Amino acid sequence: MNKSLRKPLVVGNWKMNKTPHECVELLDELIPMVSEVDRADIVVCVPFVDLCSAVEKTRGTNIRVGAQNVHSAPKGSFTGEISAEMLLEIGATSVIVGHSERRTYFGETDETVNLRARAALDAGLQTIICVGETLTDRDAGITEEVVGLQTKIALQNVSAEQMANVVIAYEPVWAIGTGRNASTAQAQEVCAQIRSIIGKIYGDFIADRTHILYGGSMNAANCADLLNEADIDGGLIGGASLKPVDFTVIVKAANNN
């Protein structure tokens, strides 16, 4: 597999952190720190209420803005939800779908993840689909099966053309927010398995061009080794994305990859 076919991508997932005012403050710090980065793509996925401020603040910079969820319907009686068209109109380019916190706390299933991903892709959004096993899965030796199934169901009825906007983020649930990242070998192994599944569905041309990220306690200290792996094309960063200095280290490590 030829890694040079894929431009490194670093995505910050701010989760439910930062008010609109704090969002602008953080971006004010971050923007000059990463302004020289030209070989990696940078996206910050902020809370819905921060999107407008973030889009406005990052206009003309090398940082793009994304959301953390999207509904599958174009409009209608879905109280509390946000459509892909709404995200597009305010200038978001990207969206995270199927984060394990959505699956665990908000009842998302592989099927709803697929529906949401397809709505985002139909609208032309870069769609970051999260997959990952629990510790129980890993201990039971079924990581490949679990992640494989999540990936296959998420991609059902996603066309080959739409794959250009698909990013898969491998986030082992046991590594999220725990300070315990997957080893480089563990992360590489699963990311390679995901690429192989994509190859079986869409062929090698598309598999070689699909971005696969690692997420789960990636930080300034461990990012270089993880990003060096053959099938890890970038990171989905939680806690460290809230610290401009640390996030910049990760972005620059990706930029040098």
Residues making contact with ligand 13P (CB under 6 A): 13, 99, 171, 176-177, 215-218, 236-240
The nearest distance, CB 52 to ligand 13P, in angstroms, is 22
| Cβ proximity to ligand 13P, 13 vs 127, nearer residue | 13
The nearest distance, CB 101 to ligand 13P, in angstroms, is 7
Q: Annotate 161-197 with b (16+ C-beta within 10 A) or e (fewer).
A: ebbebbbbbbbbbbbbeeeebbebebbbbbbbbbbeb
Strands 126-131 and 94-97, sheet pairing: parallel
* Residues annotated catalytic, as ranges: 99, 171
| Cβ proximity to ligand 13P, 158 vs 175, nearer residue | 175
The enclosing H or E element of 96 equals strand 94-97
Q: Is the dihedral of CA 43, 178, 181, 245 positive or negative?
A: positive
Q: Find out whether 182 and 169 touch, Cβ atoms under 8 Å.
A: no
| Cβ proximity to ligand 13P, 216 vs 244, nearer residue | 216
The nearest distance, CB 236 to ligand 13P, in angstroms, is 5
| Cβ proximity to ligand 13P, 6 vs 99, nearer residue | 99
Residue partners of 137: CB distance under 8 A and separation at least 6? 143, 146
- Closest to 234 measured CA to CA, from 66, 41, 45, 14: 41
The nearest distance, CB 100 to ligand 13P, in angstroms, is 7
